[in-house]
Structure 1
């Protein structure tokens, strides 16, 4: 994903909003996704009916490859820290997770955060 283009940033925001819709339709803690029998499954599996925040990003991403998911997860994490731990915090609700995902997509500083993600990726060992 090109971090320098506004088009890619807007695409990421659209996917985050779509992921929030997945969370609103079915949310889970402790696993990325589950089917109707509460069996763990791949987030992109058509049988999935519940998703965590990170799994919802993967399920909502219609652009692929995996690197795109990492960047969108990092965009969310700029607002909440570790997205998996944040999703799984006791007392957290699906409405809260979805609302924060939407807020991250709509944040007025989102473009600046997005551009900063490239620097974070380059700094990683």
Structure 2
């Protein structure tokens, strides 16, 4: 089973699009993720949504808004909107502490590391 990240932007409109993807594909939601990373003592939040394969295609898309949301209390409106959408859909997000993408040689390496973490925690199926 192939898994691949598809990055949206990091703005409010992008999180809105991620929420719409969740609503229109609620029957395909495998997991939702809230990822916390830290760079120079500043924490940021990434939001992601993994969908089950469509039809017979062995492909799991993981849509994400990477590190554009500052970690703060109270939570930002973007994070709250994502959490409200998941609550409406009866989906409990998985929260993970991960390294910041800047600690990797490329965004592809970062995505590969996240996929490996998700597979090791049985949040994504193994490659077939």
Question: Same fold per TM (> 0.5)?
Answer: no
Give the TM-score taking structure 1 as reference length. Answer: 0.31
Q: Which has the larger strand fraction?
A: 2
Q: Which has the larger helix fraction?
A: 1
